[in-house]
Structure 1
Amino acid sequence: MKAIGMILLSIFLGKSCSNQAQNDITNTTLQYTATTRGFYQRIIVANQKATISTDRNQKEIPKEVKISDKDWKELVDYFQKVDLESIPQLKDPTQKRFYDGAAIANLKIRHKDKNYETTDFDHEFPPAEIEKLVNKIVSFSKEE
């Protein structure tokens, strides 16, 4: 009887932890921006929606994309693996943006009323520590 109680308690606690992680990202805003002289892209992810803007002057209405449950779960998993405190110190793997070989990109995270921002890095070449998260965010702009 005690074994069954322990198994049920373990399952219940496991579900609570995963729901807590879900809540953490629910109160989080992720903003990815990439820009050059001729290219602009801003993707804001919050509450299982992505808002995509390609007009730096914000004269056009941004496109809003609902994120599927599968993609949202993936995003949550990637977000949980990111050490938010180390975000400002991440090193860029390439410097193509210095000679117009890539757009200048950065990632801003607002989590629990605190802001975290990367230093600039090359669009499509994010630091390894946030690569999966950034690639997932960018993938929302490719969906229609």
Structure 2
Amino acid sequence: MRIVSFLFLTIFMMTGCSSQKKADMASTVIEYSAMSRGYFKKIVVQNQTVLVTNGRDVQAIEKKIEKANWDKIVTEFEKIDLEKISTLKAPTEKRFYDGAAIGNLKITQNQKTYETPGFDNGFPPKEIEKLVNLLTDFVKE
């Protein structure tokens, strides 16, 4: 009887934790920005909505994210260890000599902000590459 109770409790706890992670996405804000002297792009994703800004003094364009795309974003987001994104290393260094805009990923969840160090726009660290590519796809639309 103890084993059955233990198994039931374990399964209950596991499903509770995964649903908590999904529920957190409603209040999570994912922000990707890329900027240089003559370039500015900002993409903000929150609760199945994306805001895209294509210039410093330009009004943001708001779009609804389709469910299939939202599910991809959630899947990639769940793979990221938020506590470690501040230590990610950029694979290239073109931004040091104006060869690329400076990219940055900032995630705000539960009133805590997690931010990457600067990296070359178009060449994010491999740990966040798929998520960044999903975000930048909104600019191509």
Which whole-Å CA distance do the structure 2 matches of 1:15 and 1:114 have between them? 24
Deviation, structure 1 residue 25 = 1.3
Distance 1:69 1:13, change over 3 A: farther
Once the two structures are aligned, what percentage of the paired residues are identical? 47
Deviation, structure 1 residue 100 = 1.4
Q: TM-score, normalised by structure 2?
A: 0.86
Aligned to 2:46: 46
Aligned to 2:82: 84
Runs of 4+ off more than 6 Å: 12-15
Give the match's secondary structure for 2:29: strand
Of the three residues 63, 66, 69, the one matched with 1:68 is 66
Name the amino acid aligned to 1:42: K
Give the match's secondary structure for 1:128: coil
CA contact (8 A) 1:107 1:118 kept: yes
Deviation, structure 1 residue 20 = 3.0
> How many corresponding residue pairs?
134
Which whole-Å CA distance do the structure 2 matches of 1:13 and 1:63 have between them? 40
Deviation, structure 1 residue 37 = 1.4
Aligned to 1:140: 138
- Unaligned segments of structure 1, at least 5 residues: 1-5
Which whole-Å CA distance do the structure 1 matches of 2:34 and 2:59 have between them? 18
Matches within 5 A, 1:1-144: 18-57=18-57, 60-143=58-141
Q: TM-score, normalised by structure 1?
A: 0.84
Which whole-Å CA distance do the structure 2 matches of 1:68 and 1:15 have between them? 25
Name the amino acid aligned to 1:136: L
CA contact (8 A) 1:21 1:76 kept: no
Q: CA RMSD in A?
A: 2.1
